Each structure stands twice: as structure tokens, then as C-alpha cells.
Amino acid sequence: MGMPLTTPGYDYVNRMGLNIENLDGLNFKYAIQLDVPVELITNMTLYRFIDQWIGTPYHLGGNDQNGIDCSGFAKVLEGTVFNLSLPRTSSEQYQECHHVSSSEMQEGDLVFFGTKRGITHVGIYLANHKFVHASTSFGVMISDLGDDYWRVRFRGAGRITQ
């Protein structure tokens, strides 16, 4: 038997009625990727979904694990994980949602990017300025809103309410 864990995270997990030994390995994997305490990774349906899709190649108009585009990925994720129905394109998704400020963003909210021509990309907010999306270059991946590329293209966040 080892010494009992007395780290703040462990104490928090115990107070929440969770046993750290019973946490899924995905809790730790995504806590590291998002740079958040492991106890904040609670929506395991979401993180199992992401884990199954990470690395799926980008394909314009695609909607399955053979290839998917950003709005298709948002549509499938929101439907599967949150039981929400989304339109097919990122610009339609932008029009459909209730817009929220950056400070109000919650796990599962949509994050939108664009140019002067309008909305051209969508992802799903996770935590700590991180979002999951289907990138044209790398397929389904997690990125940071603070990265220069995304920061200058960020157009807002929205929540689907049905």
C-alpha cells in the first residue's frame, strides 16, 4: 500500500464522490491535452467520441470517418453527444445558434471563424480556450483559440438551444 493521495485534485475528486482510481484513461489524456485538472473532464461521451474521430481526414462534403469537413463534424458531434440537430454548413450553423460572448463559452458551444466574406469554419469548444474541429490540413484535431492563426479569424461563439 502506498501513501494516500493528498493532492488538491484528488481531494476535489473525493469530495465530488468520485474515486480517482476509477477514472477513465481518457480523463487523464484529455486533461493533459486541454491543460486542465483531470476532475474537469467529466463528459466522457464527448471525449470518447473525440477519441474515435481524432485523425479522421478532412474531406469537403464528407460526413463519416472516411473523411469529414468542419461543419459535418460539428453536426455529427452535436447530434451524437448532445442530441442536437444542426444545419449542414458553418454559415447556416452560425445563423441558427444563440450567440454568446467568449467569457460565456461552455463545453459543446460552437466556435466560428471566417474572413471578410463570412463564416468559413466551425469547431466545438471544449475548455481552456481549446476546441475540436476538422482541419483542412490535419483532419480532426484539437486546437487553441489563442493561436495566432485562429485568434485573427475568430468570429464568435454560439450555443444551440432546442
Alpha-carbon gap, residue 148 to 76, rounded angstroms? 27
- Catalytic residue at 99? no
Q: Which of 70, 97, 98, 99 is catalytic?
A: 70
The single residue of 59, 97, 99, 121 carrying the catalytic annotation is 121
- Is 133 marked active-site? yes
The phi, psi pair for 98, rounded to 5°, reads -85, 120
Radius of gyration, CA atoms only, the chain:
17
Q: Phi and psi of 114, rounded to 5°?
A: -170, -170
Alpha-helical segments (H) within the chain = 8-15, 25-34, 44-53, 70-82, 90-96, 148-151
Is 108 within 8 Å of 89 (Cβ atoms)? no
Non-local (6+) Cβ contacts of 105 within 8 A are: 111, 125, 157
Q: Which of 59, 98, 99, 133 is catalytic?
A: 133
Please give the positions annotated as active site. 70, 121, 133
